[in-house]
Amino acid sequence: FNVTRKLTSPIDGQKPGTSGLRKKVKVFIQPNYLENFVQSTFNALTAEKVRGATLVVSGDGRYYSKDAIQIIVKMAAANGVRRIWVGQNGLLSTPAVSAVIRERVGVDGSRASGAFILTASHNPGGPNEDFGIKYNMENGGPAPEGITDKIYENTKSIKEYLIAEDLPNVDISAIGVSSFGGPEGQFDVEVFDSASDYVKLMKSIFDFESIRKLLSSPKFSFCYDALHGVAGAYAKRIFVEELGAQESSLLNCVPKEDFGGGHPDPNLTYAKELVARMGLGKSSSGEEPPEFGAAADGDADRNMVLGKRFFVTPSDSVAIIAANAVEAIPYFSAGLKGVARSMPTSAALDVVAKNLNLKFFEVPTGWKFFGNLMDAGMCSVCGEESFGTGSDHIREKDGIWAVLAWLSILAYKNKGNLDGGKLVTVEDIVRQHWATYGRHYYTRYDYENVDAGAAKELMANLVKLQSSLAEVNGIVQGIRSDVSKVVHGDEFEYKDPVDGSISKHQGIRYLFEDGSRLVFRLSGTGSEGATIRLYIEQYEKDPSKTGRDSQEALAPLVEVALKLSKMQEFTGRSAPTVIT
Ligand code: VG1
Ligand code: CO
Question: Residue 421 has what pLDDT?
Answer: 85
- How much distance in Å is there from the Cα of 169 to the middle of ligand 2? 28
- How much distance in Å is there from the Cα of 530 to the middle of ligand 1? 14
Give the helix/strand (H/E) hosting 188: strand 185-192
For the chain, the average pLDDT equals 94
Distances in Å between the Cα of 377 and the Cα atoms of 336, 365, 380, 420 are: 10, 20, 8, 42
Q: Indicate the pLDDT class of residue 287, thresholds 50, 70 and 90.
A: confident
How many DSSP H helices and E strands does the chain contain?
Answer: 18, 26
Cβ contacts of 24-31, under 8 Å, gap ≥ 24: 24/128, 24/129, 24/130, 24/131, 24/527, 24/528, 25/63, 25/64, 25/125, 25/126, 25/127, 25/128, 25/129, 25/130, 25/131, 26/127, 26/128, 27/527, 28/64, 28/68, 28/131, 29/64, 29/67
- How wide is the angle at C-alpha 421 spanned by C-alphas 416 and 427, nearest 5°? 90
Give the span between the Cα atoms of 162 and 80, in whole angstroms. Answer: 10
Question: Residue 419 has what pLDDT?
Answer: 81
Q: Which of 16, 129, 133, 109 is nearest to 63 (CA)?
A: 129
Q: Whose CA is nearest to atom 10 of ligand 1?
A: 366
Residue 526 reports pLDDT greater than 80 = no
Question: Residue 181 has what pLDDT?
Answer: 95
Distances in Å between the Cα of 32 and the Cα atoms of 35, 107, 236 are: 5, 33, 38
Percentage of the chain exceeding pLDDT 70: 99
**Pairing outcome for strands 114-118 and 292-296:** unpaired
Question: Residue 2 has what pLDDT?
Answer: 95
C-beta 297 within 6 A of ligand 1: yes
C-beta 345 within 6 A of ligand 1: no
C-beta 229 within 6 A of ligand 1: no
Ligand nearest to the CA of 366: 1
Q: How many residues does the chain have?
A: 580
Categorise residue 30: left if φ over 0, alpha if ψ from -120 to 50, beta otherwise: beta
- How much distance in Å is there from the Cα of 390 to the middle of ligand 2? 12
Residues annotated as catalytic are: 121
Residue 436 reports pLDDT greater than 70 = yes
C-beta 338 within 6 A of ligand 1: no
pTM: 0.94
- How much distance in Å is there from the Cα of 250 to the middle of ligand 2? 19
pLDDT in tens, 88-97: 999 999 999 9
Residue 285 reports pLDDT greater than 70 = no
| DSSP category for residue 49 | G
Q: Indicate the pLDDT class of residue 546, thresholds 50, 70 and 90.
A: confident
Most distant CA atoms of the chain, gap in Å: 75
Give me the residues paired with residue 193 across strands: none
Question: Residue 524 has what pLDDT?
Answer: 78
C-beta 384 within 6 A of ligand 1: yes
Of residues 343 and 468, which shows the higher confidence score? 343
Question: Could you identify the atom of ligand 1 that is nearest to the CA of residue 18?
Answer: 14
User: Where are the extended beta strands (E) located within 232-329?
Assistant: 250-251, 292-296, 303-307, 310-311
Give the span between the Cα atoms of 537 and 124, in whole angstroms. Answer: 29
Residue 284 reports pLDDT greater than 60 = no
C-beta 366 within 6 A of ligand 1: yes
Q: Span 170-182, mean pLDDT?
A: 96
Question: Residue 525 has what pLDDT?
Answer: 73
Question: Could you identify the atom of ligand 1 that is nearest to the CA of residue 123?
Answer: 19
Q: Whose CA is nearest to atom 8 of ligand 1?
A: 386
